[in-house]
Structure formats: C-alpha cells, structure tokens
Amino acid sequence: MSCFAGSAAYNAAMDSFSQEQLAQLTTMTMDLAREGNSAELLEFIDHGIPVDIRDPDGNTLLMLAAYNGHVGTVRALIERGADVNLRNNRDQSPIAGALFKGEDEIVAVLHRAGADLDAGTPSARATAEMFGRTHLLEL
C-alpha cells in the first residue's frame, strides 16, 4: 500500500505522479518536517500533499516535527488539520515521542490539541511517568 493512500480527491490529483515521484515527494516533505522548515512544508500541503502523509515506517509529518523539537512546525501542521493521534508502525504517538525527547512546549501544544494520552506503546502517560514529567500532562 502506498504512503499516499487517502481521499478520492487526493488520489485523483496524485494519479499524474509515478510511484517513484510519490516516494520522492514523501521523502522531501518528511525531511522538511524533520528540519522544521515550515514555509516550504506548508507550500507542499497547500498544493495538495496530505497533512497526514506517512513514510514507509508510518511516521507522519507531525510525528517527525514533534520528535525533532520544531514547535512552530507542529503548530502549523495542527492548524492545517494534522491528526495528533496517528501512530507509526511501532505504535508510537507524537506526544509520547515529544515526551521522550524532552520537548515540553510541544507536549503542551499536542495535549491542548487533543492528543490521546493513553494511546500507543508506550503511551504518553507511561512515558511521562518513566521520565518524571507527569506534570506536563496536566492542563
């Protein structure tokens, strides 16, 4: 299954791309999320790349931006409708990844956006307990 599976409108728009081109677009957008390059990343999204696109490991743009400490990119992706609860192929959630990396501000942003504290392995709640950061899960 392609990392680009999505809505019928999106799939119709993407029909003009080969699988190789789609893979290259995925790699480019994932790199932009890792780097926190919000301006370029949002251009791709505004031109039809799904905000919840996944790489072969199931990571989303939001997951990579959160894990790499880019709070501005995290906020921008949430504003564009990114699902804060999508987990990767290892059942990891963006909020648990941010807790693991010590990204307190990102944890707060994801929590306020409705991140499920009990989803994933380990869950955000379990991760917070492991690292003594349970205070971050209180709103």
Q: What is the pLDDT of residues 96-120, one digit of tens each?
A: 999 999 999 999 999 999 999 999 9
Report the pLDDT averaged over residues 120-130: 94
pTM of structure: 0.87
Report the pLDDT averaged over residues 11-31: 83
Predicted pLDDT of residue 4? 43
Q: What 3-state class would DSSP assign to 57?
A: coil
Q: Which of 91, 137, 103 is nearest to 117 (CA)?
A: 137
Q: What is the pLDDT of residues 71-97, one digit of tens each?
A: 999 999 999 999 999 999 999 999 999
Domain borders along the chain are 8-137
Give the chain's mean pLDDT.
Answer: 90
What is the assigned CATH class of domain 8-137? mainly alpha
